[in-house]
Amino acid sequence: WQIVAPVLRNATRQPGQVPRRAILNAIFYVLRTGCQWRFLPVSYPNWKTVYSCFRRWSLNGTWDQVVDALRVQVRYEQGRKALPTAAVIDTQSVKTTEKGGDAATMEPRKSKGASESNCAT
């Protein structure tokens, strides 16, 4: 909480609303368990409140700041630099065809007895 509190302090909030920490815990619950917003347990704030905060924070960049702050802290605890210095790009090493299955190895069939027609508009 100490890590993300300064980030969320700047997020807009109306007086008397649900505490940000409770909302953040509910968001983490959804992300960790994969449950749907509507099925948040009753021990968390109302799902509409949690979802609307998550959506607002995602759109205005607050959620990116939360994730960045947590990522930096995790890397620091692992004895790593705050930002990664290398990236891995996965490429496909086996050449494949554009079409899979039989379509890749069979010739296309030509219709028998039908004439070709071209249409220009």
For CA atoms 52, 55, 60, 64, the dihedral sign is positive
What residue numbers bound the domain in which 38 lies? 23-85
- Kindly state whether residue 52 falls inside one of the protein's structural domains: yes
pLDDT in tens, 1-21: 888 888 877 766 665 678 889
- Kindly state whether residue 10 falls inside one of the protein's structural domains: no
The angle, 0 to 180 degrees and rounded to 10, between the axes of the packed helices 62-77 and 47-60 is 80
pLDDT in tens, 52-87: 999 999 998 889 989 888 888 888 777 777 777 777
The 8-class DSSP code of residue 61 comes to T
- Kindly state whether residue 31 falls inside one of the protein's structural domains: yes
| CB hemisphere CA count around 85 (13 angstroms) | 2
pTM: 0.62
How many domains would you assign to the chain?
1
- Kindly state whether residue 94 falls inside one of the protein's structural domains: no
- Kindly state whether residue 5 falls inside one of the protein's structural domains: no
CB 3, CB 73: distance < 8 Å: yes
